[in-house]
Structure 1
Amino acid sequence: MWVKNIKKEHGVGFIAIQETMFSDGTRIKFTKYWGNSEGRSGGIACLWDPGIFKRIDTIKHRYFLLICGTIKGVSERVHVVNVYAPQSTSAKRVLGEQLKDLEVSREGVWIFLGGFNQVRSAEERRKCIFDPTHVADFNSFIYEANLSEYIMNGFKFTIWLDGDNKLSKLDRMLVCDKFWGLWPTATLRALPRNLSDHCPLLLSTTSSNYGHIPFKFFNAWLHKPGLDNIVRSSVSSFTFAGAPDIALAGKLRCI
């Protein structure tokens, strides 16, 4: 079982779970852990903080669970689609068409998250069978649905199998342009695994500003032709009126 979160300024606002190992989700007492808001479809489950997310509608499917609602500070409806894709290639294609049709039929902000059982490039697999047809299908779905994804930090892969010898990035979060426009500085991180062979993914929409980025210089740059000219040109073109320490920081940034 693994978890994916949408985080608001007040804390974690939404949790999506796949592989609960219960075909009958009523056997899990989610209210013990977090309030009384939940949606379930077989082995897929969603929980949310009712103080942040207000549910309007739910669509249950064998391979996904759609929760539609509103979030404080967002004027449009937000659609969270918890996906647990099938193994079959043909079934994945059918699922992709269904998800695209859903997105087109409803106005609002969209995020698709979960286990897609596909990768986007050969670099997202290690010591596993790589099928370029699957990659083409998945990338076509993402392109046609006009979705994007944030750079994932923490780990490169999200699942370890066969004694941690087979690695893949099968889990991800895909967002629409409106989502990206609302939270352009959101961060995505793969967290360490504990009891599962999947990494939990944490999407934080809270902007973290730790001040100016420190000046960095790599030794390898010293071997680049024309480095002296670039530095001299940057220094000679830099102008600033103010405190010396701020001027130095600005000059280094200019370089």
Structure 2
Amino acid sequence: MATHDREYVFFGDFNEVREEAERFGSLFNADEANVFIQFLGDTGLLDVPLGGRRFTWINKSVSKMSRIDRVLVSSNVQNWFMDLKLVVLTKGWSDHLPLIFHNAKLDFGPIPFKCFNSWLDNGDFISVVKEAVGSE
């Protein structure tokens, strides 16, 4: 990766967490987490934020949960797609929960008109709106 100026997207089961909060019901190993964090730092890969749920793997008895499934992207991918999101869906037949990876840009532009209910009580409201629309 260091010798190629390219865009990278890696996804899958990394079997490792970055911090204790990413595990529930099982032992957290700080040394292994530090190795994973060092790997991310050395490669410059960014962990796409997770939404929907906190964990991506759950055992059958729901006594152990972890965030081990991830999407890692190179920084230039993150620069092109500023709103990348990873959403965890409801558990199906696998112990790994399904993920949706998408660019969640929801900017619909400026709000064309804002109205407060209290303005409707003002007798001049309709004439002010008509005047404003006619002035453009």
Q: TM-score, normalising length from structure 1?
A: 0.42
Partner of 1:150: 48
Partner of 1:99: none
Residues 212 and 153 (structure 1), Cα distance of their counterparts in 2 relative to 1, 3 Å cut: farther
Partner of 1:108: 6
1:115 positional shift: 0.5
Give the letter aligned to residue 190 of structure 1.
Answer: V
Q: In 1, distance between residues paired with 2:50 and 2:33?
A: 19
Give the letter aligned to residue 120 of structure 1.
Answer: R
Q: In 2, distance between residues paired with 1:196 and 1:181?
A: 33
SS at match of 2:38: helix
Partner of 1:187: 85
1:112 positional shift: 1.4
Q: In 2, distance between residues paired with 1:127 and 1:110?
A: 33
- 1 or 2 for the larger relative contact order (CA 8 Å, sep ≥6)? 2
1:203 corresponds, among 79, 89, 101, to: 101
Q: Which has the larger radius of gyration?
A: 2
Give the letter aligned to residue 59 of structure 2.
Answer: L
Question: Over aligned residues, Cα RMSD in angstroms?
Answer: 2.3
Give unpaired runs (5+ residues) of structure 1.
1-102, 214-242, 247-255
Superimposed CA distance per residue, residues 115-149 of structure 1 (whole angstroms, 9 cap, x where no aligned partner): 10000000000110111110000000001111112
Aligned residues: 115
Give unpaired runs (5+ residues) of structure 2.
117-136
Give the letter aligned to residue 186 of structure 1.
Answer: L
1:106 positional shift: 2.6
SS at match of 1:108: coil
Q: TM-score, normalising length from structure 2?
A: 0.75
2:66 corresponds, among 150, 168, 175, to: 168
Give the letter aligned to residue 3 of structure 2.
Answer: S
Partner of 1:75: none
Q: Percent identity?
A: 26
Residues 105 and 198 (structure 1), Cα distance of their counterparts in 2 relative to 1, 3 Å cut: same
Q: In 1, distance between residues paired with 2:86 and 2:10?
A: 14
Q: Which runs of 4+ in 1 moved over 6 A?
A: none
Q: In 1, distance between residues paired with 2:40 and 2:104?
A: 25
Give the letter aligned to residue 154 of structure 1.
Answer: G
Q: In 2, distance between residues paired with 1:162 and 1:195?
A: 10
Superimposed CA distance per residue, residues 59-89 of structure 1 (whole angstroms, 9 cap, x where no aligned partner): xxxxxxxxxxxxxxxxxxxxxxxxxxxxxxx
The aligned runs of 1:83-122 (5 Å cut-off) are 103-122=1-20
More strand by share: 1
Q: Is the 8 A contact 2:84 2:102 kept in 1?
A: yes
1:159 paired to 2:57: yes
The aligned runs of 1:223-242 (5 Å cut-off) are none
